[in-house]
Structure 1
Amino acid sequence: MRRPMNHLRRLSSALEKIATGRLALLSTILFFVFLVFVLPAQADATAAAAGAAETPDTAFFYTAEELYRIAESLGDAGRSHYIRSRFTFDVVWPLVYLIFLATTIGWLTQRGFDASSPWRLLNLLPLAGALFDFLENSATSLAMARYPATTPVVAELAGLFTALKWTFVFASFAALIVALVAVGVRRFASQRRQ
């Protein structure tokens, strides 16, 4: 048990080394540019290609049967657009939120917690979110590409990958709030001591 924890601490420390205030600020700006401009444009492009059909990555969880139902409702053009966007836009977007969350959480936890605190590992949560996002993209794209043929195991895992992605992404935003509060508490305590 000690060896995996040591690896996690080393990875967390490596992320902290690049988590400068400047990078945290730049990644925050980039994240909000994506939220305001890029995501709505991508949603419009998906709606144009797929019509009113839903996509699997916006659900929290789905079964293989639900994934095949979505694949059917997308039609050929919608499935092609979906696959193409998983390997263009949806490669960049997870990297954007990963850099934003990992650097911002890392920068804040360095200021909010002591170096030995396990809370400093919070900067690893976005890595897990992005990893499961990439696994989700690969699994759903393979299922879409092979449809109407089924893709056993991969289609079953796709919903699990999506649920894990959302769990770690939500946990990352919760960690960001925890880190902000920790910095505020530490500053308040420091001012009271003076």
Structure 2
Amino acid sequence: MSAVRAWVLRLSARAGERRALLVLFGLYWLMVLVVLPRASVSAIPTLDLRFWYTPDDVQAAFGATDTAGRWAFVVGHFTADLVYPLVYALLLGGLLSALTARTGRHANAPLLAWSGALFDVLENLTLSILALAYPNPLGGLAWLAALFTAAKWSTIALTFALLVWEIVAWLRVRAR
């Protein structure tokens, strides 16, 4: 596990270089403004934008569309919605790496951004399985998907809180 940790921290450090951050910032906004809206072709209510949902919510969401809509949902989750977590993990991990390198604190902070991305990918995988299994209610898997979603949003919120904390710390160090 420490080899994975070290690799993620090295990758975040490279992403934290000024040029890489500029490219990642551009990629992030390209994903948000162009790619993700075009990839959202299904009529399924977006479960992954909520903080929490139940197996009944999952069944209702997948029941709101036909087989083609559920298939479009799965394709979207294995294309654009698989790249998006990588982009934001690189961006947030890079920002945290750059800031913590300057303050000398919280060297493992980029791991928080990557854990949010991991929960996002696990959420996409479980929701895709649920979409393919519909109309069979896989209640246990639906609860697991909801846990991944809540964990994703929690870790992303913590990542942003830590990012603000590190920016303030960096500004204080810089002001001295």
Question: Following TM superposition, where does structure 1 have runs of at least 4 consecutive aligned residues deviating by more than 6 angstroms?
Answer: 6-9
**Greater shift in the superposed pair: 6-15 or 143-152:** 6-15
CA offsets 1:128-157 (integer angstroms, 9 cap, x no match):
111101110111111110111122421220
- Gaps spanning 5+ residues in structure 1: where? 190-194
Q: Are 1:177 and 2:164 matched, yes or no? A: yes
Equivalences for 1:41-60 in 2 at 5 Å? 41-43=38-40, 46=41, 49-50=42-43, 53-60=44-51
Give the 3-state SS of the residue equivalent to 2:107 in structure 1: helix
Give the 3-state SS of the residue equivalent to 2:62 in structure 1: helix
Partner of 2:57: 66
**Greater shift in the superposed pair: 179-188 or 17-26:** 17-26
The one-letter amino acid paired with 2:28 is: F
Aligned residues: 175
Equivalences for 1:45-124 in 2 at 5 Å? 46=41, 49-50=42-43, 53-111=44-102, 113-114=103-104, 117=105, 119-124=106-111
CA offsets 1:65-99 (integer angstroms, 9 cap, x no match):
21111111133222111111011111111111111
Q: Are 1:154 and 2:141 matched, yes or no? A: yes
Equivalences for 1:138-149 in 2 at 5 Å? 138-149=125-136
How big is the shift at 1:9? Answer: 7.2
* Equivalent residues of 1:24, 1:107 under 8 A apart: no
Taking the aligned partners of 2:146 and 2:91, their CA distance within structure 1 comes to 25
* Equivalent residues of 2:9, 2:111 under 8 A apart: no
The one-letter amino acid paired with 1:104 is: L
The one-letter amino acid paired with 1:37 is: V
How big is the shift at 1:15? Answer: 4.0
When the two chains are superposed, the root-mean-square deviation of aligned CA atoms in Å is 2.1
Taking the aligned partners of 1:24 and 1:163, their CA distance within structure 2 comes to 27
Equivalences for 1:6-17 in 2 at 5 Å? 10=6, 13-17=9-13
Pick the aligned partner of 2:121 from 125, 128, 134: 134
The one-letter amino acid paired with 2:10 is: A
Taking the aligned partners of 1:147 and 1:37, their CA distance within structure 2 comes to 29
How big is the shift at 1:41? Answer: 2.8
Q: Percent of aligned pairs with the same residue?
A: 33
**TM-score, with length taken from structure 1:** 0.81
